[in-house]
Amino acid sequence: MSDETNKEGLTRREFIERAAKAGLGIAGASAFGLPLFGGDAAVAAPAVKKGGKPVVVVAKDAGIWKSGKLDRDAVRELVFKAVRELSGEKSNEAAWSEYFDKDDRVSIKMNCIGGKQLSSSPAVVSAVAAGLIAAGIPGNRIAAWDRFEWELRNSGYKPGRGKDGVLYTSTDSDDFGYEGDIVSWGEVGTRVSTIATRFSSAIVNVPVMKDHDSTGVSCALKNYFGAINNPNKLHEDGCDPYIADLNMLPVFKNKTKLTVCDATTGQYHGGPAHKSKYTWRFSGVIVGTDMVAVDAVVNDIIEKKRKEEGLPTLSEEGRPPKFLKTAADPKHRLGECRLDKIKVIEV
């Protein structure tokens, strides 16, 4: 075996040793045709449509809360119900298998910047992991992650493997990091987390439904700002066209098979940092394969809540989610942003 050095300054042997430490093994980097050092699998997400429209499922159940806390069993059933509805399949195994193959290595991209009050909750993330396991994917081939270990801990996660074998980790852990090479599309040039590029053959995007002081709304598309090394450089002009351009990178565009937005608690103003004054129990999850459509539905929910609370529209406040139209324009074609062109199913 060659001992050539990769862009992170690791030899091939050192990388394999680190992979083994993380429970990946040599197959973890290459079993799906992924080069050991960088590269992305060009695997397109399946298009689930009814009547020619992208489908977004909004599943709600106030019963997921027990004594002020999320009940994991109830949340799991809600997530499973949403995915069954989206897929059109009756069994959980068939529903999750619609999007993932048993040989996949799947990462769950969380959003942990808001702490325990406004992050991808352990209840929702564990439900997603259980769905992947139902599809026949072993727990040790699943990783749930975000940028920093301290963010995971602040959001209620313990780094390491859970009882089901799922790895909870972060880009800044000893086992991962960012790619050495810069990749670019449009106005974006960045280095991507190796969890996305090397570990993952498929990704489940698990963002949070919340307001953002610059972009108006932060959900699925913007969640990948937490998968790159320089998100601070991409916030001018409402992050437009940066959000759309970032999601054109093959690692995100091709590997994202499913979005499960954690809408158990949402925030309609004052974001992206948590402000309890503006949060509410939406008690739901929002599921789809079209990230633009999911974000458009989330935007509509937030706008309705703002109106209910007597707040001006995001446009009136000077922060409309411009990135949605950009993501759907002829240059990007990432998805559908027009509500009348989206099939919304409420369950």
Q: State phi, psi for 192 to the nearest 5 degrees.
A: -100, 145
Q: Is residue 13 part of a domain?
A: no
In a domain, 18, yes or no: no
Provide mean pLDDT across the span 275-287: 98
More confident residue, 25 or 106: 106
Q: Is the pLDDT of residue 15 over 90?
A: no
Region of 346 on the Ramachandran plot (φ > 0 left; ψ -120 to 50 alpha; else beta): beta
β-strand 284-288 against 53-60: which pairing, if any?
Answer: antiparallel
* Residue 49 confidence (pLDDT): 53
Q: What is the pLDDT of residues 291-337, one digit of tens each?
A: 999 999 999 999 999 999 999 999 999 999 999 999 999 999 999 99
- Cβ atoms of 219 and 295 within 8 Å: the answer is yes
Residue 11 lies in a domain: no
Amino acid at 63: G
Q: For residue 52, what pLDDT is reported?
A: 85
Q: How far is CA 73 from the centre of its chain?
A: 21
Inside any domain, residue 7: no
Confidence (pLDDT) at 51: 59
User: Does some domain include residue 22?
Assistant: no
Report if residue 136 sits inside a domain: yes
CA 282 to chain centre: 19
Residue 213: φ, ψ to 5°: -65, -15
What single-letter DSSP state applies at residue 45? Answer: P
CA distance 257 to 312: 35
State how far the Cα of 253 lies from the Cα of 277, in Å rounded to an integer.
Answer: 35
> How far apart (Å, rounded) are the C-alpha atoms in residues 18 and 96?
30
CA-based nearest residue to 48, from 261, 342, 289: 289
**Whether residue 2 has pLDDT greater than 80:** no
So what's the pLDDT on residue 22? 41
* Enclosing domain of residue 127: 45-346
Residue 164, CB-side half-sphere exposure with 13 Å CA sphere: 20
Q: Which residues contact 316 (CB under 8 A, 6 or more apart)?
A: none
What's the CA gap between 164 and 236, in Å, rounded? 41
Asked if omega into 272 is within 30° of 0 (cis), the reply is yes
272 close to 217: Cβ distance less than 8 angstroms:
no
In this predicted model, what pLDDT tens digit does every residue of 249-258 receive, in sequence order? Answer: 999 999 999 9
Q: How many CB atoms lie within 10 A of CB 182?
A: 14
30 inside domain: no
Cβ count near 78 (within 10 Å): 25
User: Is residue 166, in this structure, part of any structural domain at all?
Assistant: yes
Structure tokens belonging to residue 171: 């880009």
Backbone φ and ψ for 223, nearest 5 degrees, come out as: -60, -25
pLDDT at 139 over 60: yes
- The count of domains in the chain is 1
pLDDT, average across residues 80-84: 98
How many other CB atoms are there within 10 angstroms of residue 252's CB atom? 24
CATH number, residue 200:
3.40.50
